[in-house]
Structure 1
Amino acid sequence: MPAHLRLATPEDVAAALAGRTRADLKLLTKHYMAVLNERAPGHSVEVRVPPFAAVQVIPGVRHTRGTPPAVVEMDAETWIALARGDVSWSEAEAAGRVRASGQRADLTPYLPLT
């Protein structure tokens, strides 16, 4: 797992969900990115949630330089909602809350993470 990502304790997740400050969003983003990294290890899709985290996941061609073949980007609130199952991938994409390009850029098989 990338050093910048870590799983949070259930108590920290619950507190962050109740608070939703910038620090809480950062904790939740990194926590759910760490969960995704554990469940879908690989390097073929880069998932970005600026400014908090980015991770390369999903098995396939390893990406080492430049723009990856598949990129998914969204804000922290959208990422947390997707990870928790509060919104579906298709709903978020249709609402313009997710920007996804390239093969394997659909995270539906891996969501929700809870």
Structure 2
Amino acid sequence: MAAIREQDISKGMAALDAWRKAADVHRGEPPEARLAFSPDGLPRNTWAMAVRYSLYLLENKAPGPGVEVRVAPWSAVKILDGPESDPHNLTPPDVIELDPDVWLRLACGLTTWAEEKEAGRISAVGERDDLSALLPLD
């Protein structure tokens, strides 16, 4: 299933831009402040569309069936080449789970994979458990 419906791509782009603008004022802050950033005042549907659109960008940047990236509750995508999921178990061998605020900080370049991982905010299982080469999304 696609991360975002085609008719919602422009809404997703606008939502991600809104999230980015809210985050931009925090770029020069120390890591502790950036790691805690979560924009207040953005409606839930803006968050959802920003997540879906950014996962759509990730999926287009690194297509494949090998790693599942989950950003609950709004979407999940499979990316990167590699072994697919077992036909009896639809979960691929590599799974990465992130909260929406963590994912959007990474996607927008506010924080790094290493910072979020060290803070314990990334759950990753499998050999390909590091997306730092793919982030931030442009």
For the criterion TM > 0.5, the same-fold answer is: yes
- Please say if 1:5 is aligned against 2:4: yes
Q: Which has the higher mean CA deviation after the structures are superposed, 17-26 or 27-36?
A: 17-26
Q: Between Structure 1 and Structure 2, whose CA radius of gyration is higher? A: 2
* Letter of the structure 2 residue corresponding to residue 8 of structure 1: S
Kindly tell me: are residues 55 and 11 of structure 1, through their superposed partners in 2, closer, same or farther at Cα, counting changes over 3 Å?
closer
Residues 72 and 99 in structure 1, CA contact (< 8 A), matched pair in contact too: yes
The CA distance in 1 between the partners of 2:114 and 2:16, in whole Å, is 25
* Letter of the structure 2 residue corresponding to residue 89 of structure 1: W
Identical aligned pairs, as a percentage?
37
How many angstroms does 1:11 deviate by?
Answer: 3.6
Q: What does the per-residue CA deviation read over 1:33-58, in whole Å, with 9 as the maximum and x for residues that have no partner?
A: 00000000001100001110011101
Point out where structure 2 has 5 or more consecutive residues left out of the alignment. 23-40
Q: Which has the higher mean CA deviation after the structures are superposed, 47-56 or 5-14?
A: 5-14
Secondary structure class of the residue paired with 2:123: strand
TM-score (norm 2): 0.73
The one of 66, 70, 74 equivalent to 1:48 is 70
Q: Which has the higher mean CA deviation after the structures are superposed, 63-72 or 79-88?
A: 63-72
How many angstroms does 1:4 deviate by?
Answer: 4.1
Residues 48 and 54 in structure 1, CA contact (< 8 A), matched pair in contact too: yes
- The answer for the alignment partner of 1:88 in structure 2 is 112
Q: Which has the higher mean CA deviation after the structures are superposed, 33-42 or 97-106?
A: 97-106
Q: Report how many aligned residue pairs link the two structures.
A: 113
TM-score (norm 1): 0.87
Kindly tell me: are residues 12 and 22 of structure 1, through their superposed partners in 2, closer, same or farther at Cα, counting changes over 3 Å?
closer
Q: Which has the higher mean CA deviation after the structures are superposed, 72-81 or 10-19?
A: 10-19
Deviation beyond 6 Å, 4+ runs, structure 1: none
Kindly tell me: are residues 4 and 84 of structure 1, through their superposed partners in 2, closer, same or farther at Cα, counting changes over 3 Å?
closer
- The answer for the alignment partner of 1:35 in structure 2 is 57
Secondary structure class of the residue paired with 1:60: coil
How many angstroms does 1:30 deviate by?
Answer: 0.2
